[in-house]
Amino acid sequence: MESKTLIPKPTMVMMAALQVALYTAVQSHLSQAILQDTSSIVFPLSGSIHTHWAYLTTINIGKPHKPFKVHVDTASELTWPKEHLYKPKTDSIVKCEDPLCVAIQGKERNCENPDDRCEYVIPFSDGSKTHGYLVRDIFPIRLTTGSIIDSPLVFGCGYKQIGTFRGVGMLGLSRGPVGFLSQMHSQGLIKQVMGHCLSSQEGGFLFLGDDLVPRTGVSWTPITNNYHEDRDYLSGPVDLLFDGKATQVRGLKVDFDSGSALSWLNQSAYQHTLDLINQALKKTKLKPAEPEGELSVCWSHKKKPIISLDKMNNKYFKKLTLSFQNIPNVKLELPPQAYLILIKVGVIFLGKVCLGIDDGDKLGLENPNLIGAISMQDKLVMYDNDNHRIGWASRDCNIPPML
């Protein structure tokens, strides 16, 4: 988080930390007391990697409600629409003294007075930023039981955006106390579990709560980072296999990030993976092609245009596998469709494919290894915060969930 104005004295930081800790403890106690007969929430998704570079869903805010189509992001804590689309009432503005303001600003507090509105600046790995302030309003939400609840939640009102954003805002689903899932859980409405199913064709679904978690057939790996230190979904260490064989890429910690269209590896791991792919293509009819926008590595066929990823299997591109070292036989399989992007403009195919994995060191992150949306397609990916684990299972995401 970037500071805008003031750096607090040590006593202020300690008081802020105690305030957040007390708030979290109280909310956790209340939620456990209420969580006797919870339900779940299902959100249909739209978009895809190939058409929108993002998966989007619609949330309703206010009463009467107004719909907002927002980017689904498991690596962002704050939910926010753009201010020019959402006009908050004066009495809905969250003040600096609110514990959730303390949580979103962290150590870099930017409040002069407790009664000031809670401002934030959130940077993203691609260099974009959103500036805004916190508000509290009603979210009308339909549970899978059929009942509709009016849940008061804190979210952001984004008055300035720098860079490219998909949709009209963000649905923040990371593990922090301001996260959409965390706030719903703190009110005793759902278990602290969620999942998404991203279709490689178009759309899919997102769910909050544990009703849609399969009892069997799921590969689980622990969330390895501490909740209080890092609110992302980090796991590992993992080794990379190429066509089922061991490689030099070993011991990676990976973040599961639905908000990133691409997957990312540190520079050394990325270069080795690219070398393996190119080596396997040497005796095929594919050749290097011109880069396509942000995609720097592309290939085309020497004789005919490529119009389907299905024909890329085995004959040209090999399966990648993330093998989790600490859990026997737990692997995340990445077929070519999970790391290649078929290039087209509208409905017109340009006859080439590009690599959906890039050099993560360009992002400037502490951990540059991200499992992005492209590598989570056609899988039910679940984030079980109650049991501190991440799981996945293959699934046709075009089939609506059944309860």
Q: Mind telling me the catalytic residues?
A: 73, 257
At residue 215, what is the residue type?
R
Dihedral, CA atoms, 364, 368, 373, 374, nearest 10 degrees? 110
Pick from 167, 235, 180, 168: which is nearest to 206 by CA?
180
Answer yes or no: are the C-beta atoms of 382 and 213 closer than 8 Å.
Answer: yes
Indicate the pairing of strand 80-81 with strand 169-172. antiparallel
Phi, psi (deg, nearest 5) at residue 395:
-160, 150
- By the 8 A CB rule, do 317 and 280 touch? yes
Question: Using an 8 Å Cβ cutoff, are 375 and 392 in contact?
Answer: no
The answer to whether the beta carbons of residues 362 and 346 sit under 8 Å apart is no
Distance in angstroms between the alpha carbons of the first and the last residue of the chain: 39
What is the spatial distance between Cα 44 and Cα 46, in angstroms, rounded to a whole number?
7
